[in-house]
Structure formats: C-alpha cells, structure tokens
Amino acid sequence: MGEFNKEFMDEAVKMSRENVKNGTGGPFGAVIVKDGKIIAKGSNKVTVKNDPTAHAEVETIREACKALNTFNLSGCEIYTSCEPCPMCLAAIYWARLDKIYYANNKHHAAEIGFDDKFIYDELDLAHDARSIPMLHYHSDEALEVFKAWQENEDKIEY
C-alpha cells in the first residue's frame, strides 16, 4: 500500500469545505484511492438526502464500489476529513479498505456537535439497558433461512 499523500487529504478536506460553503451537508469529505489515483469522492449528504447513513465515508464507499463494480475495496485506501464515526468505521471494515487516513479527530468533531461517544457507550450496555432497547425473538423460520444460506453452494460470500 502507498504512503500518506497530502494531495489526497487536501482533496478530502476540500470536499468538506465545499459541502459547508454550499450548504449541502455537514463538514465532512472523503476520497478513496487505488493504485495512486482517486477513484471516488464524497461528502456528507445527510440533510439533502434525508438519509442518516449518507455520511461522507459511506457515500464515497458507494461511489468506489460503483466505479470498480465490486463490493470488495481491498487494495484501496480512504482519506477522510475526520476520524470515522462508528457507522462509517464499520462500513470501512465491511468494504475491506486497506488503510484509513483522517484529519480531524473524534474530539474535534464532538466540539462542534458531532459526538459519537454515546454510541460507543450504548454498545457496552446490555440490550435491554440501551436507550433503544433490543429485544430478541426466537424464530425457527429465521434460523431456517440462515441454514439455507449456509448450505447454498452458489452463494457469493462477502
């Protein structure tokens, strides 16, 4: 994998700056790089898309997957204007990106109203103690679907 490239980080920060200037979302931008080239760019679009998952990293992952026609982004790196939130970090792991470079950290984000600490805290709580309780319902039918997936020899694993 490559080493840190300031031009790529500058582009991620530029995406975040333009987003603030244009009023099209929060102050977050990202780029995904493969083989020394930017293959996707994105910025936070939560408010313009009315989609709480439209964070810069997720938007950029979606664009990179389209550009490469794959759900597996191994061999790619992400440059983001801020340390990824828990959702984005999980998406980065699911996408199998090789490396994360970030500018602002989670403490900087918390100072301007983007504090994810409560999510980390919630993850440590028992399901029934969370602010949104999680209740388990056993379903034989749901287990049968999992078994069918496990036995399917034609599945595309991810």
What are the catalytic residues? 57
Cα–Cα distance for residue pair 141/126, rounded to 1 Å:
26
